[in-house]
Amino acid sequence: MQKPIVAVVGRPNVGKSTLFNKVAGSRISIVEDTPGVTRDRIFADCEWLGHKFTMIDTGGIEPFSKDIILSQMRRQAQIAIDMADVILLLVDGREGMTAADLEVANMIRKTSTPIILVVNKIETKELDRNSFEFYNLGLGDPISISAEQGLGIGDLLDKVVESFERSEVDFEEDERLKIAVLGKPNAGKSTLVNRLLGEDRVIVSNVPGTTRDAIDSSFKYYGEEYVLIDTAGLRRKNKIYDEIERYSILRAVTAVERADVCLILIDAEYGITEQDAKIAGIAHNRGKASIIVVNKWDKIEKDNHTTKSFEKDIRETLSFMSYAPILYISALEGQRVNKIMETVLQVASEHAKRITTGMLNDVISEAILLNQPPADKGRRLKIYYATQASVKPPTFILFVNNKELIHFSYIRYLENQVRNSFGFIGTPIIFLVREKTDKDGK
C-alpha cells in the first residue's frame, strides 16, 4: 500500500524546512533566513508510532507576488496539496497572522483533505498566547510548536497519525504483482508498456516527458493478473524547468514504493548514464527486486564484443546493483520482450525467498572458515549465528560480539557467499548486525 503523503505548506520563512528536517531526522532541506530558499519540493520517508508516511517540504506560497519563480513555487505547492493525504499549514507565531496567511488558508480550504494548523516559533508560554489569533483562519484548533527547538513535535505527529486513521478506509489488499517501469524521458517506457499489454493503452510520443503521472494498467499473463505502472521520465535536476516535472519525480518514487518489481529501462543509443544510476538507486534504496532492461538494442551496430562491452559499462556504473539481471530488447520491434515477464516472475520469487536458519548458518560458518573475520587491536570479530528476519527484500541478522569490529567489506563478502549458495537473483539483500555477549552466544 502506498504511504500517506503529508505536505507542509505556508508562506515563505515560517519554518517549513526546519520542521521538515526535524521530522525527517536529517538536514535535507536548505535552511536560510531568506524567503524563497526552498524552491523545489523535497520529500523524505518518515515514521511515527509505527505509521510510515512521506513528507513533502514545499516552496513558500506568495499569494500576492507576480515574480515568475514565486508563481511557479505557488503552483508547485498546489500540486503537493492536491496529492496530499494530510496538509500542515505552518504559520509564524512570533510575527502573528498576516494577509498572506489568510490567502494561503483560503487556497487550501477548498480541498477535502484534513488540514492541521501549526503555529511555529512558540518557545515560551508568553508567545503561546499569540496562537489564539490564528483561530481567525477558520481551520480549527492550532497546535503550537517550535520546530527549531523540537517543542510540540510529538503532539503534532500524534495528530497527523490520527488524521491517517480517520481517513483510512477498509479495503482488500491488492495482491497482484506490480511492475514499475522506470527510466529517463524518451527511453521507451510507454512503448514497452504497450508491447507488454498488447495494445496501445498509453500515449506514445517521441517528445520527452509525455507521461506526466504514474499510470496503472492491468493485464493477464498465463491466466494470472498483473499490474504495470508506467512512470513519468526522470530528468536530471538541472533539466527540470516545469514544476509538473518535479511532481512527476515524487509520483515515480511513490510508484516504486507500490511496486514489487522495477524495470530499469536504459536507452541503448545513449548508453548507461549517471542519471540511469540515480533512477536505479531509487529502486535499490527501497529494497525492490529489479531488472535492467536495455531498450532500442536493434538500433545498435554490433560485433562480437558489443554485448560484453555494454554489460561491463552497466556493471561499473550500477555497481550497487550487481544482482540485477540484464535483458537486451527492442520494445518497438518486440525483440526479446517475451523474456521480460519470465524474468519478472523469477526475481519476484527470489525477492520473497526464505532460507532456513540451519542452512544459512552452514554457509556463514563455511565462509568464516575460508576467510577469518577482521581483528582490531587484538580483538577479533566473532559471528555467533545468523537468521533471516524478513523477505521483500530478504533481510538477515548477524549476531556478533562487537559490531564495531565488522567492516562493510566483510559484510559484502558474506553477502557474496550467501548469493553463491542461494541465488537471490534480482533482489537486494540486507544484513543487520546485533551485539550478543559471548555467554549468550554460546
| 10 marked among binding-site residues | yes
Burial class (CB in 10 A: 0-12, 13-18, 19+), 392: middle
| 184 marked among binding-site residues | yes
| 230 marked among binding-site residues | yes
Residue 172 lies in a domain: no
Choose among 252, 268, 248: nearest CA to 180: 252
Residues 113, 183 share a domain: no
Rg of the Cα atoms in the chain: 25
| 183 marked among binding-site residues | yes
| 295 marked among binding-site residues | yes
Q: Residue 143 is placed in which grid cell? A: 497546535
Residues 212, 191 share a domain: yes
pLDDT score recorded for residue 336: 94
* Regions of the chain with pLDDT less than 50: 27-41, 169-172, 203-213, 237-245, 248, 441-442
Domain end, chosen from 147, 167, 187, is at 167
| 16 marked among binding-site residues | yes
Cβ–Cβ under 8 Å, residues 215 and 234: no
Beta bridge partners of 387: 397
| 21 marked among binding-site residues | no
pLDDT score recorded for residue 62: 63
Residues 159, 230 share a domain: no
State the residue for C-alpha cell 550487481: 322
Residues 235, 101 share a domain: no
| 154 marked among binding-site residues | no
| 189 marked among binding-site residues | yes
Helix axes 306-317, 274-285, angle to 10 degrees: 60
Choose among 232, 289, 224, 285: nearest CA to 255: 232
Cβ–Cβ under 8 Å, residues 265 and 189: yes
Question: Domain range holding 402?
Answer: 357-441
Cβ–Cβ under 8 Å, residues 143 and 152: yes
Residue 425 lies in a domain: yes
Q: Residue 121 is placed in which grid cell? A: 516559533
Residues 308, 328 share a domain: yes
- Give the whole-angstrom CA distance, residue 287 versus residue 311: 22
Domain end, chosen from 328, 351, 374, is at 351
Which CATH number fits the domain that encloses residue 377?
3.30.300.20
| 191 marked among binding-site residues | no
pLDDT score recorded for residue 209: 42
This prediction has a pTM of: 0.66
| 298 marked among binding-site residues | yes
| 358 marked among binding-site residues | no
| 48 marked among binding-site residues | no
pLDDT score recorded for residue 390: 95
| 271 marked among binding-site residues | no
**Phi first, then psi: what are they for 310, rounded to 5°?**
-65, -40
Q: pLDDT for 39-49, tens place per residue?
A: 344 677 788 88
Which CATH number fits the domain that encloses residue 53?
3.40.50.300
For 65, the 3-state DSSP assignment is: coil
Beta bridge partners of 295: 267
Residue 101 backbone class (left: φ over 0; alpha: ψ -120 to 50; beta: rest): alpha
Tally of CB atoms within 10 A around 139: 17
- Per the structure, the count of domains in the chain is 3
390, 392, 393, 399 alpha-carbon torsion, rounded to 10°: 0
For 218, the 3-state DSSP assignment is: strand
